[in-house]
């Protein structure tokens, strides 16, 4: 799959902790991701998300080796692929389903900056909806059903969705496209849609409602023009992140809180969408932590990282890793 896996054997194969950080960024290959440095401040696309996580991963490995630490259990270090965008968590899914199937006792993802911690995984569906038809001249072929008109109907229906705030449920039409010119009936119209919630049932209910309005918009556009120029629709799943939760009573959570207390800061767990979503959905003990320091502009070309006090992130990851393989 492309994951980089390094095992640091302990006195026994278990407990086995996987400490992971993702290799990929949101940026396409043509974007220059080289960084610049000015004192403690670094700037460059991906410098915080997740170059910082990868740096912490290496820092923990070096610290253990330099101090000649022998752990009772084993730590498996992973630099995984496919966390961002349409990566669909393919790296961590492969890790749990294939490469380390049945061998993982605890999972920690180091993602981004700061000292945040996440035990609730925000799930998401991401779809691309494409309406297609025969197209034609805007005057000469007037009366043909129009894929862009159908797309507009769908978007209007999605925008009218009523959702809850507790649990939080969200939806967004993030990209649209199609058509060839202002005086042509489009032969294609498409949109990419994102839906999220930390509650699996609420997310599934929204996804089902979305599927229904996609078809309703198609039917309405075809009916509007009767049998002239029938259009069709394709619904493609771009990605699915399952929602999940590691209970507050889980040892991995209480250990993370104890480590924070020992190092002089409170650990307040929140929710997020990270590699930990997948193991959480499998009811495997999993959390995500920040790598320390301060990050700004994540997922933008102006992304920056200030390494002031960033050692706290590495120290937290190190102590947590050792504590979880006792």
Residue 3 to residue 82: CA distance in whole angstroms: 9
Q: Say which residue the tokens 């997922």 belong to.
A: 299
Residue-wise pLDDT for 2-28, tens only, equals: 999 999 999 999 999 999 999 999 998
- d(CA 153, CA 240) in angstroms, rounded, equals 25
* Three-class SS state of 322: helix
Q: In the numeric block, which tokens belong to residue 123? A: 């799930």
Alpha helices in the chain (DSSP H): 51-66, 90-94, 147-159, 200-224, 251-263, 277-281, 311-323
What is the distance between the alpha carbons of residues 204 and 125, in angstroms, rounded to a whole number?
Answer: 9
- The predicted pLDDT at position 85 comes to 82
16-22/74-80 β-pairing = parallel
CA separation for the pair 95, 257 (Å, rounded): 26
Please give the pLDDT value at position 15.
98
Across the chain, mean pLDDT equals 96
pLDDT score at 256: 98
| Residues 124 and 207 sit within 8 Å (Cβ to Cβ) | no
> What is the tens place of the pLDDT at every residue in 91-102?
999 999 999 999
For 203-228, the pLDDT digits (tens) are 999 999 999 999 999 999 999 998 77
DSSP state, residue 163: -
Instruction: Output the pTM of the full model.
Output: 0.89
Six-digit token string for 164: 């809850």
The predicted pLDDT at position 226 comes to 85
pLDDT tens digits, 164-208: 999 999 999 999 999 999 999 999 999 999 999 999 999 999 999
Give me the pLDDT at residue 86, please.
82
- Residue pLDDT, tens place only, 41-81: 999 999 999 999 999 999 999 999 999 999 999 999 999 99
At 51, which helix (H) or strand (E)? helix 51-66
CA atoms within 13 A on the CB side of 222: 15
Question: In terms of Cα–Cα distance, which of 238, 230, 156 is closest to 195?
Answer: 238
What is the DSSP secondary-structure string of 256-269? HHHHHHHHT----E
Residue-wise pLDDT for 250-301, tens only, equals 999 999 999 999 999 999 999 999 999 999 999 999 999 999 999 999 999 9
Distance separating alpha carbons of residues 163 and 182, to the nearest angstrom: 35
Q: Give pLDDT tens digits for 120-148.
A: 999 999 999 999 999 999 999 999 999 99
Residues 6+ apart with CB under 8 A from 109: 20, 21, 22, 53, 92, 274, 275, 276, 286, 287, 288, 289
CA angle 152, 154, 155 (to 5 degrees): 65
Closest of 249, 250, 215, 253 to residue 235, by C-alpha: 215
User: Beta strand pairing status for 106-110 and 184-185?
Assistant: unpaired
């Amino acid at each position: 799959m492309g994951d980089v896996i390094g095992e640091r054997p302990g006195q026994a194969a278990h407990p086995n902790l996987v400490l992971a950080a993702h290799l990929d960024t949101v940026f396409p290959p043509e974007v220059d991701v080289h960084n610049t440095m000015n004192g403690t401040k670094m700037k460059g696309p991906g410098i915080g998300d997740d170059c910082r996580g990868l740096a912490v991963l290496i820092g923990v490995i070096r610290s253990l080796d330099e101090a000649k630490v022998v752990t009772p259990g084993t730590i498996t270090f992973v630099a995984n692929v496919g966390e961002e965008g349409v990566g669909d968590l393919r790296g961590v899914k492969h890790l749990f389903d294939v490469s380390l199937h049945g061998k993982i006792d605890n999972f920690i993802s180091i993602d981004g900056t700061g000292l945040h911690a996440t035990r609730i995984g925000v799930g998401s569906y991401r779809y691309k909806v494409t309406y297609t038809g025969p197209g034609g001249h805007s005057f000469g072929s007037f009366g043909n059903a129009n894929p862009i008109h159908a797309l507009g109907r769908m978007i209007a229906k999605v925008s009218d969705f009523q959702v809850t705030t507790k649990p939080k449920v969200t939806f967004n039409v993030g990209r649209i496209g199609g058509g060839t010119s202002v005086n042509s009936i489009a032969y294609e119209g498409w949109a990419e849609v994102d839906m999220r919630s930390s509650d699996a049932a609420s997310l599934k209910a929204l996804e089902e409602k979305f599927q229904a309005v996609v078809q309703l918009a198609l039917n309405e556009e075809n009916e509007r023009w009767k049998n002239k120029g029938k259009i069709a629709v394709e619904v493609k799943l771009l990605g699915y992140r399952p929602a999940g939760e590691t209970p507050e009573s889980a040892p991995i959570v209480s250990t993370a809180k104890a480590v924070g207390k020992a190092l002089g800061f409170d650990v307040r767990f929140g929710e997020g969408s990270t590699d930990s979503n997948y193991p959480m959905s499998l009811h495997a003990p999993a959390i995500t932590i920040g790598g320390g320091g301060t990050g700004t502009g994540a997922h933008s070309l102006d992304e920056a990282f200030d390494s002031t006090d960033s050692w706290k992130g590495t120290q937290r990851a190190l102590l947590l890793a050792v504590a979880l393989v006792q």
